[in-house]
Amino acid sequence: MSNSTHTRRYVSVRGVERLRERLSDRDLAIIRQVADLRLMSARQIQAIHFPAEQHTNELAATRARQRVVTRLCRAQLLCALQRRVGGIRAGSAGLVLALGPVGQRVLGLSGPRQRGHEPGLRFFDHTLAVAQLIVGVQLASRQGRCELLDVQAEPGCWRDFASSGGRRWLRPDAFLAIDSRGYELRWFVELDRSSESISTVLKKCRLYVAYYQSGKEQIAHGVFPRVAWVVPDDVRAERVRKAIDRDRQLPDRLFVVTTSEKAVTALCSIN
């Protein structure tokens, strides 16, 4: 990772405390969201934390975002990846941010310290796609189309459960709870990038059924979420939908298949 061309330096415990005291609510919100989602593009950060309606125009919002992100990177609260969305010609809007080593300490997060290595392309694309979906639902909530009640990205959305074969893990890409016209909609989300075979998709669907049959989620929350498969296009959606319909092990209405373009609408709709 590049740290916006700034050299890493050690920050003392007292230095971290002083830095935390100087951070604004917006600074902390940005750092926390990047930590939760693992990667965010500058464009995604701007959409959530620098909405155009709070600035004189879009250019003013962009300049404000640039100043804040540069400052957060300089303080090692965030760090910028070398790879960008849209390549080098995308400019600052294509910048991709991860949590920096000082950001981890400011948030009091445990675990291995953040290291300066670049993630692989598959992780990069998939993680940003999940972030984009969550940002889209946040914007829909802000616009009054729904109300976002809860969001959990990986690994916070993972579930473990006991089965006849021992302890098993279900690893969704995200969990969302959404209020739509007074109805609470709960979703496990799977972002499909057309990189997995249909048999792999069906295997994951059967794992959801096994978790459903364990009853653990229903005991904890009173209801089991539906599972939304979000795929790139209508052709892939049709393939996945037909495969799920043909598999008699998979119960009706547990799975919804939608495209990236239609995903926010699908997640906010009662059907």
Angstrom distance (rounded) from CA 18 to CA 37:
26
Angstrom distance (rounded) from CA 70 to CA 79:
9
The pLDDT tens digits of the residues spanning 150-189 come to 999 999 999 999 988 789 999 999 999 999 999 999 999 9
pTM of the model as a whole: 0.89
The pLDDT tens digits of the residues spanning 101-143 come to 999 999 987 666 555 578 899 999 999 999 999 999 999 999 9
CATH 3.40.1350 segments of the chain: 126-267
Bridge partners, 255 (sequence order): 227
CA angle, 117 then 118 then 124, to 5°: 145
The pLDDT tens digits of the residues spanning 22-69 come to 999 999 999 999 999 999 999 999 999 999 888 989 999 999 999 999
Among the CATH numbers 3.40.1350, 3.30.70, 1.10.10, 1.10.150, which is that of 126-267? 3.40.1350
Angstrom distance (rounded) from CA 115 to CA 215:
39
**Taking the domain 13-118, which CATH number applies?**
1.10.10
Helix segments in 50-120, DSSP class H: 58-74, 101-106
CATH 1.10.10 segments of the chain: 13-118
